[in-house]
Structure 1
Amino acid sequence: MDVPLYETLEGQVALVTGATRGIGKRIADGLVDHGATVYAGARNTDDITSDDRRAIELDVTIDTQREAAIERIREDVGQLDILVNNAGIMDSRESLAEMPAEVIDQTLTTNLHGPIHLIKEALDLLLDRPGGRVVNVSSGLGKLTDPQTGGMPAYRISKTGLNGLTKYLDGEYDDLLANSVCPGYVQTDMTEGSAPRTPEKGAETPIWLARFRPDGPSGEFWRDRSLKPW
Structure 2
Amino acid sequence: MLTFFAPLLFLAQSAAAAPVENVATAAATVGKIRGVRDPIYHLYLQASPKNSSKPVLGPESAAEEFTIGGTIQSKKTNQFLNIATASTSYKPLVWGAKGDTTAWGLEGDTIITMQGSSYGRRDRVGVVTGANKGIGLAIVRQLALQYPKSPLNNGPFLIYLTARDQGRGEAAVKNLEQDAQLKQAKALKADGGLSEIKFHLLDITSSDSIKILADHLKQTHSDGIDFVINNAGIALDGYNADLVKKTLNCNYYKTLEASHAFLPLLKPTGRLINIASMSGKLNKYSEPVRNRFLAAKSEADITAIMQDFVAAVEAGKEKERGFPTAGYAVSKAGLIGATKILAKQVKESGREGLLVNACCPGYVNTEMTKGNGTKTPDEGARTPVLLALGDIQGKADGFWQDEKEIDWVGELKG
TM-score range, shorter chain: 0.7 to 0.9
Distance 2:128 2:229 in 1: 5
Aligned counterparts of 1:188 and 1:214: Cα–Cα separation in 2: 27
Paired with 2:392 and 2:406, the residues of 1 have a C-alpha distance of: 21
Return closer, same or farther for 1:124/1:26 CA change in 2, 3 Å cut-off: same
Deviation per residue, 1:113-138 (Å, 9 max, x gap):
11111111112112xx3221111111
Match of 1:77 in 2: 221
Q: Which has the larger radius of gyration?
A: 2
Residue deviations 1:119-159 (CA, integer Å, cap 9, x gap):
11112112xx3221111111111111x22599652111110
Structure 1 pair 168–103 and aligned structure 2 pair: CA distance change class (3 A): same
- Aligned-partner residue type, residue 134 of structure 1: L
Any gaps of 5 or more consecutive residues in structure 1?
A: 1-5
**One-letter code aligned to 2:284:** P
Q: Name the structure with the higher strand share.
A: 2
Q: Secondary structure at the match of 2:370?
A: coil
Q: Could you tell me whether the CA contact under 8 Å between 1:131 and 1:215 is conserved in 2?
A: no
Q: Is the 8 A contact 1:90 1:155 kept in 2?
A: yes
Equivalent pair of 2:363/2:374 in contact (CA under 8 Å)? yes
Aligned to 1:186: 364
1:134 aligned partner: 272
TM-superposed CA distance for 1:168, in Å, is: 1.1
Letter in 2 for 1:130: P
Deviation at 1:109, TM superposition (A): 1.1
State which of 201, 207, 220 in structure 2 corresponds to 1:63. 207
Distance in 1 between residues matched to 2:228 and 2:337, nearest whole Å: 17
Identity of counterpart residues, as a percentage?
33
Match of 2:337 in 1: 164
Residue 3 of structure 1 is matched in structure 2 by none
- Any idea what the Cα deviations from partners look like across 1:27-68, whole Å, max 9, x if unmatched? 111223315311111111222332531111101000100000
Taking the aligned partners of 1:152 and 1:211, their CA distance within structure 2 comes to: 36
* Match runs of 1:1-230 below 5 Å: 11-33=123-145, 34=147, 36-47=157-168, 48-49=170-171, 50=173, 52-78=196-222, 79-92=224-237, 99-126=239-266, 129-144=267-282, 146-148=283-285, 153-174=326-347, 175=351, 176-212=354-390, 216-230=394-408
Letter in 2 for 1:60: I
CA contact (8 A) 1:130 1:214 kept: no
Query: What letter corresponds to residue 205 of structure 2 in structure 1?
Result: T
Give the TM-score normalised by the residue count of structure 1: 0.86
Distance 1:58 1:197 in 2: 27
User: Which has the bigger relative contact order, CA under 8 A and spacing at least 6?
Assistant: 1
Query: Match of 2:340, as an amino acid?
Result: K
Distance 2:338 2:382 in 1: 22
Report SS of the residue matched to 2:355: strand
Cα distance between partner residues in 2 of 1:61 and 1:203: 23
Over the residues paired in the alignment, what is the CA RMSD in angstroms?
2.3
| Structure 2 residue ranges without an equivalent (≥5) | 1-60, 63-121, 148-155, 178-195, 286-318, 409-414
SS at 1:103's partner residue? helix
Q: Work out the CA distance in 1 between the residues paired with 2:390 and 2:396.
A: 9
Tell me the amino acid that sits aligned with residue 133 of structure 2: R
Matched-pair contact (CA < 8 Å) for 2:234–2:247? yes
Q: How far apart, CA to CA, are the structure 1 residues paired with 2:365 and 2:141? A: 17
Distance, in Å, in 2 between the alignment partners of 1:215 and 1:196 is 29
Moved more, 22-31 or 42-51: 42-51
Q: 1:91, 1:152 within 8 Å by CA — same for their partners in 2?
A: no
TM-score, with length taken from structure 2: 0.49
Deviation at 1:214, TM superposition (A): 8.5
Confirm or deny: 8 A CA contact 1:186 1:198 kept in the other structure: yes
Any conservation in 1 of the 2:343–2:396 contact (CA below 8 Å)?
Answer: yes
